[in-house]
Amino acid sequence: MSATIHRLNPGEPAPSIDGLMQLVAPELNAVNQIILDRMQSPVAVIPALAGHLISGGGKRLRPMLTLACARLLDYSGERHHKLSASVEFIHTATLLHDDVVDGSDLRRGKKAANLIWGNQATVLVGDFLFSRAFELMVEDGSLRVLKILSNASAVIAQGEVDQLMVARQIETSEEKYLQVITAKTAVLFAAACQIAGVVAERGEACEAALESYGRNLGIAFQLVDDAIDYMSDAETMGKGQGDDFREGKLTLPVILAYRRGDEEARRFWRDAMEGRRTSDDDLAEAIERLKSSGSVADTLARARHYGELAIDAIADMPPGSAKTALMETVRFAIARAF
Amino acid sequence: MSATIHRLNPGEPAPSIDGLMQLVAPELNAVNQIILDRMQSPVAVIPALAGHLISGGGKRLRPMLTLACARLLDYSGERHHKLSASVEFIHTATLLHDDVVDGSDLRRGKKAANLIWGNQATVLVGDFLFSRAFELMVEDGSLRVLKILSNASAVIAQGEVDQLMVARQIETSEEKYLQVITAKTAVLFAAACQIAGVVAERGEACEAALESYGRNLGIAFQLVDDAIDYMSDAETMGKGQGDDFREGKLTLPVILAYRRGDEEARRFWRDAMEGRRTSDDDLAEAIERLKSSGSVADTLARARHYGELAIDAIADMPPGSAKTALMETVRFAIARAF
């Protein structure tokens, strides 16, 4: 393969996750059925609220990764169906609690759950889904999977708190920021991939390779998301452009622009992260500053770097449709920004 | 023993949990050490926020129950230390999320965590403790314990949502209310007791007896709490008197008073549960109405009933200091209201 992931030469089709979706489609139906079954409850608001997020617009990216990794290892059982549903429940619980924490208006292009059902029910339904995730793992019975996912959950929660604390701290270093997004986002991608290695019983080196693939893919995804917030619009992204900016959410483009900027630029970014720059004009100025300092472009360059690591992590796996789909997923993660 | 739990005859000492505390004191120190170790995190706000609740004023009732039940079964190992820490983490996570959900001002006589650190960090630290609870269970490695506690967690979350939905629905039946408090409170008491039976490997009948003891004790505790909210004051209880009333939180005293009342009484209670009666005068009127309709007294009578069930659930266990302490705990739960 070429040295750069991002290949959009004339005549070459744009990277997509169609290959991944085709690879796992039949099994994903089985996973979806488990998800629908297990979010039921005699308390009617639970499936209604959970379904708002689970049924609506979610790509099921993490379950698809579990399924594709299991296929990569020629695993022929069905244990990973329940487990990937479990991963999706953990993810959804995190999103619900995020909506409460962030006070976001839109999630996956729909009104955020907390705005419809209130913060209270949203917190509690998150707790419910989180508990259901563990029930699914317990039914599977693998202590190794339980360990991976309970650790991932603890790391995610720590990462969320950490992010909350750095949210408006403009002096946060790039490395600190990478720690935060690794904990908050990449660890669950990693776990989703690793558990395929557990059910396929392929040993620690194989698990580690899948873990690395997932973790680096997750970092790349997040960095591209960070860049996109300053690039695209609400229609294409399912969340308002500039949300991060208006919420004073510190992301890599801002960290880079601040570090590279002069006194006046730094004052702008400090004001912005402290909530004194929230107008459309401010956002336009932010985008201009990010462009002139190369901060969005370099955020994407960092993303490409992690994408390369992800691809190389599974480079020695046997070729086939699963490997192709997993590599193409990395390219898609990067190419979304273009 | 006598037919009524509540024995405060002249000359007879008031029931207390001193016996329980003495029984488990050395082991409780070991549990406390585990709790302190495992709430640590490189993210400083996590131990600070968790410690506010965990170190401050908590009775460790659930861990004490696990320890006492293990003693009742002559279990001599230490597995239940980690597991009772796990139960305390689940309980603390629930309290943190409750504080966000209820918007309460005080918790255990201290300012509620969400008022100091904000709703956002409070939700996330709750998630962290919940994850840590599962990590502790996974380290122990018993799938049976994992099943009991993951199920308990799911039931608690359902109960919380259910309670949120019935909170201001004055027509809620007594039976429905019992379902809610069983899920919300009693199931974790039950699990705390049952897991002692699991580690002692004493079989299903023994587990079921301990589960029944804990569940009925938990219901009794909650019903007495409900009554106390209309009886005592902020100094003695660690939460403001009439909090339930002012929040329009439907509890058994109100359910009974509504059902027993005439049109005018029902209008009063409906207004109260819908948030139109929140003054001190309204509270005084509520207390008077509860008294004249016998609703508080009968809530306590119901509590005594569940207390009797708890005591009989372990009646055939071998006599000794553990059994005495567990029975005395039931009497204490009831006697708090007098």
CA–CA distance from B142 to each of A3, B100, B159, B195 (Å)? 48, 32, 26, 10
Conformation bin of residue A103: beta by default, left when phi > 0, alpha when psi is -120 to 50: left
CB pairs under 8 A between A and B: 134
For residue A130, the chain B residue with the least C-alpha distance is: B154
**A151-160, A164-173, B158-167: which is most confident:** A151-160
| CATH architecture group of domain B18-329 | Orthogonal Bundle (1.10)
Whether residue B235 is predicted with pLDDT greater than 60 in this model: the reply is: no
Task: Select the residue of B120, B154, B161 nearest A101 (Cβ to Cβ).
Answer: B120
Interface list for chain B against chain A, based on CB atoms closer than 8 Å: 41-43, 45-46, 93-94, 97, 100-101, 119-121, 123-125, 127-128, 130-132, 134-135, 137-138, 141, 143, 146-147, 150-151, 153-154, 156-158, 160-162, 164-165
Structure tokens at A33: 């059925």
Q: Which CATH class is domain A18-328?
A: mainly alpha
Predicted pLDDT of residue A59: 82
Contact A123 B97 (CB under 8 A): yes
Of A165, A102, A154, A126, nearest to B48 by C-alpha is: A165
Whether residue A184 is predicted with pLDDT greater than 60 in this model: the reply is: yes
Confidence of residue A56 (pLDDT cuts 50, 70, 90): low
* Helix, strand, coil tally for chain B in percent (to 5): 75, 0, 25
**In the 8-state DSSP scheme, what is residue A181?**
H
Residues 6 or more apart from A28 whose CB is under 8 A from it?
A: A21, A60, A63, A64, A67
Conformation bin of residue A294: beta by default, left when phi > 0, alpha when psi is -120 to 50: left
**In the 8-state DSSP scheme, what is residue A14?**
P
C-alpha radius of gyration, chain A, whole number: 20
**Residue for token pair 């898609």:** A332
In tens, the pLDDT along B281-304 reads 999 999 999 999 999 999 999 999
C-alpha radius of gyration, chain B, whole number: 20
Per-residue 3-state assignment (H helix, E strand, C coil) for A190-225: HHHHHHHHHHCCCHHHHHHHHHHHHHHHHHHHHHHH
End-to-end CA distance of chain A: 20
CA gap A144, A142 in Å, rounded: 5
Contact A121 B164 (CB under 8 A): yes
Chain B residues with CB under 8 Å of A161 CB are: 41, 43, 45-46, 121, 124-125, 128
Contact B120 A100 (CB under 8 A): yes
Beta strands (DSSP E) in chain B are: 106-107, 110-111
Whether residue A235 is predicted with pLDDT greater than 80 in this model: the reply is: no
Whether residue A8 is predicted with pLDDT greater than 50 in this model: the reply is: no
* Contact yes or no for A84/A31 (Cβ under 8 A): yes
The ipTM of this complex is 0.85
In percent, how much of chain A has pLDDT > 90? 70
In tens, the pLDDT along B110-139 reads 677 888 888 888 999 999 999 999 999 999
Average pLDDT, stretch B260-281? 94
Other residues' Cβ atoms within 10 Å of the Cβ of residue A144: 15
Which of the two residues, B300 and A57, has the higher pLDDT score? B300
Predicted pLDDT of residue A6: 47
Average pLDDT, stretch A246-253? 90
Contact A138 B150 (CB under 8 A): yes
Structure tokens at B293: 């309709």
Confidence of residue B327 (pLDDT cuts 50, 70, 90): very high
CA gap A292, A230 in Å, rounded: 13
CA gap B239, B253 in Å, rounded: 18
Interface list for chain A against chain B, based on CB atoms closer than 8 Å: 41-43, 45-46, 93-94, 97, 100-101, 119-121, 123-128, 130-132, 134-135, 137-138, 141, 143, 146-147, 150-151, 153-154, 156-158, 160-162, 164-165
Chain B closest CA to A66's CA: distance in Å?
21
> Residue ranges of the domains in chain B?
18-329
Contact B127 A45 (CB under 8 A): no
**In the 8-state DSSP scheme, what is residue A15?**
P
